[in-house]
A and B are shown apart, each in its own frame.
With several copies, the nearest count.
Chain A
Amino acid sequence: MKLDVLYFAWLRERIGCARETVETEAGTVMALVEELRAREERYALAFSDLSALRVAIDQDLRDFDAPLTDAREVAFFPPMTGG
């Protein structure tokens, strides 16, 4: 399946990209993270501490063990600091 993968804040800066399309068969967010980590050093570093990251599937906050069934857009980012 084709997924739009988005990165925000320092994650975007470390990976050096705001959005990319990924061809994957990953069943869960965690499986997708493993695929990304295996790609290049900058991904491995960016995803080294998942407790410092949040994930949204199709613009809803989810856990890292959430399934990717029917997902079109997955976003990774640090904890929010609005307000």
Chain B
Amino acid sequence: MTRITIRVEQAPFDFGAECARFAEGGADTGAVVTFCGIVRDDTGTLESMEIEHYPGMTERALTKIAEEAARRWSLSEVLILHRYGPLRPGERIMMVATASAHRAEAFASADFLMDYLKSRAPFWKKETTRAGSDWVAAKASDEAALARW
């Protein structure tokens, strides 16, 4: 049985503390993979990013994605945590973590969670630079990535 935790929150989260807790898993946990997404500012012009989501559907979609991962791989634990609201460059946006007996399953499932979360969970990013605000466009490569699974 996989223990699934879904958190959708506005407040910052402590990536280190979440990773530490995850790596204290039970006797059957041999491999932990964690992913953290961070607000990038390649061009040095980003002032802030706003994340909008669909309360209710978000939790529902993330739970379905986590359950699908638990069906496909043998996992002892899955965590998906995603923030919403205003964020600044360098801030942590979200994380996923998976725990399994074996590394291949921990890696594949975390990678899967990210691909599905990108295109199937109702979050939208809006970037504000000095020039103004605009919604981030979805990438065709993100939709295409789902075909891997």
A residues near B (Cβ < 8 Å) are 6, 8-10, 12, 56, 59-61, 75, 77-83
Tell whether A75 pairs with B94 under 8 Å between CB atoms, given A8-B52, A56-B122, A80-B122: no
Contact B54 A75 (CB under 8 A): yes
Tell whether A83 pairs with B114 under 8 Å between CB atoms, given A77-B54, A78-B135: yes
Tell me how many residues of B have a C-beta within 8 Å of chain A.
29
Residues 23-50 of B contacting A (Cβ, < 8 Å): 37
Contact B138 A79 (CB under 8 A): yes
Contact A80 B124 (CB under 8 A): yes
Residue in B103, B117, B124 with the greatest tally of chain A CB atoms within 10 Å: B124
Residues 65-109 of B contacting A (Cβ, < 8 Å): 82, 93-94, 103
Q: Total number of A-B contacts with CB less than 8 angstroms?
A: 72
Contact B57 A83 (CB under 8 A): no
Supply 12 A–B pairs (Cβ within 8 Å), ascending by A.
Answer: A10-B135, A56-B122, A61-B120, A79-B143, A80-B120, A80-B123, A80-B124, A81-B135, A81-B136, A82-B53, A82-B124, A83-B93
Contact B119 A9 (CB under 8 A): no
Partner of A83 from B52, B94, B135 at Cβ < 8 Å: B94
With a cutoff of 8 Å between Cβ atoms, the chain A residues found around residue B143 in the complex are 79
* Bound Cα distance from A12 to B125, whole angstroms: 13
B residues near A (Cβ < 8 Å) are 37, 51-54, 56-57, 60-61, 82, 93-94, 103, 114, 117-126, 135-138, 143
Question: Which partner residue on chain B sits nearest A59 by CB separation?
Answer: B57
Contact A9 B135 (CB under 8 A): yes
Contact B94 A56 (CB under 8 A): no
With a cutoff of 8 Å between Cβ atoms, the chain A residues found around residue B60 in the complex are 59-60
Tell whether A80 pairs with B138 under 8 Å between CB atoms, given A8-B122, A9-B124, A61-B120: yes
